[in-house]
C-alpha cells in the first residue's frame, strides 16, 4: 500500500493541531486504499494520537533519539513515542543532517533503535544542488543508504526510504517525475543488492515541493510508492487532495 506522509516540521501548536485533524478527517473518511501518516511536532503528538485513534490515519514523529532513557537533555526516546501511539519516525531528514549536523553514524544508531522498539523508520536521503550539478546524485544517495543501513541490512524490509533532493525541499522547484523515477529505480536496485529478500517490502517515497497540482504526476509512476509532503501538508484540504491524487 502506498504511503502518503505529512511532515509538519516546526509548525502548529496543540490547538492548531486539534483544528487541523478535525477538518482533515472529514476529507479522508475512508483511508483504507492508502496509508496516511501525520507527523506533527513533539508537543502535538499526544493530542494528535488521541484524535487519530480508530481513524486509520497513522501517527509519526519527526525525529527521535537512540537511547531509551538517560541524561540527554532535550531528547525524546522511542519508548516515549511508542507509548503515545507513534508507529513511524522520520530519520535523517536533510534538515537534521545539514542544520543540526547529524552524521550517518547517528542516523544508523537511530534506525537500529527504531527496529529494536518496533517503530517503522522513514530514512531520508538526497543530494544537495552542488552534488547534482557535479553528477554525484547516485553516489551521494548510495553512500547515505549504505552507511545508514550498515549492520542492519537483514531488516531493510522494516524500513521505508524517502528520496528528497535537498535542492527541491521548500524551494517550489521539485525534481521532474522522470528524475525522481531514475533515483527510485537506483535505490530499489541497491536495496536488492543489500538484501535480496527485502525486494518489494521497502517503499521508496518522493519528497520535495510536492503539491496538489503535481502529486498525481509523481504517483502515476509505479516506482514512486508514496510521498513525504512538507509545506503543502500544513493545510488539511491541500493535503487531502494529495492523498487522493491517485
Asked if 108 and 147 count as a contact pair (C-beta separation under 8 A), the reply is yes
Please give the backbone phi and psi of residue 123, each rounded to the nearest 5 degrees, phi first.
Answer: -80, 125
Q: What is the pLDDT of residues 173-215, one digit of tens each?
A: 788 999 999 999 999 999 999 998 887 899 999 998 899 999 9
Asked if 6 and 31 count as a contact pair (C-beta separation under 8 A), the reply is no
Residues 53, 128: Cα–Cα separation, whole Å: 38
* pLDDT the model gives residue 199: 75
* pLDDT the model gives residue 100: 97
> Shortest CA distance to 100 belongs to which of 80, 137, 75, 83?
75
**Which active-site residues does the annotation give?**
93, 164
Task: Write down all domains in the chain, each with its CATH number in brackets.
Answer: 3-243 (3.20.20.70)
Tell me which residues of the chain have a pLDDT lower than 70.
31
Burial of residue 198 (CB within 10 Å: 0-12, 13-18, 19+) is middle
Amino acid at each position: 500500500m502506498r504511503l502518503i506522509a505529512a511532515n509538519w516540521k516546526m509548525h502548529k501548536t496543540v490547538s492548531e493541531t486539534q483544528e487541523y485533524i478535525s477538518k482533515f478527517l472529514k476529507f479522508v473518511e475512508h483511508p483504507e486504499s492508502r496509508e496516511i501518516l501525520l507527523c506533527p511536532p513533539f508537543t502535538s503528538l499526544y493530542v494528535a494520537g488521541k484524535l487519530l485513534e480508530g481513524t486509520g490515519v497513522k501517527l509519526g514523529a519527526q525525529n527521535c533519539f537512540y537511547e531509551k532513557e538517560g541524561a540527554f537533555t532535550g531528547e525524546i526516546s522511542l519508548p516515549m513515542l511508542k507509548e503515545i501511539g507513534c508507529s513511524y519516525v522520520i530519520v535523517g531528514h536533510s534538515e537534521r543532517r545539514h542544520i543540526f549536523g547529524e552524521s550517518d553514524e547517528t542516523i544508523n544508531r537511530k534506525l537500529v533503535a527504531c527496529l529494536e522498539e518496533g517503530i517503522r523508520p522513514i530514512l531520508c536521503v538526497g543530494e544537495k544542488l552542488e552534488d547534482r550539478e557535479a553528477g554525484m546524485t547516485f553516489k551521494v544517495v548510495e553512500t547515505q543508504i549504505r552507511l545508514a543501513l550498515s549492520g542492519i541490512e537483514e531488516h531493510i524490509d522494516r524500513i521505508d526510504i524517502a528520496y528528497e533532493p535537498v535542492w527541491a525541499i521548500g524551494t517550489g522547484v521539485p525534481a521532474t517525475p522522470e528524475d525522481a523515477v531514475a533515483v527510485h529505480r537506483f535505490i530499489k536496485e541497491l536495496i536488492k543488492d543489500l538484501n535480496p529478500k527485502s525486494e518489494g517490502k521497502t517503499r521508496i517515497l518522493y519528497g520535495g515541493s510536492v503539491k496538489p497540482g503535481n502529486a498525481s504526476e509523481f504517483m502515476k509512476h509505479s516506482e514512486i510508492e508514496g510521498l513525504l509532503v512538507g509545506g503543502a501538508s500544513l493545510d488539511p484540504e491541500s493535503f487531502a487532495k494529495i492523498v487522493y491524487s491517485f
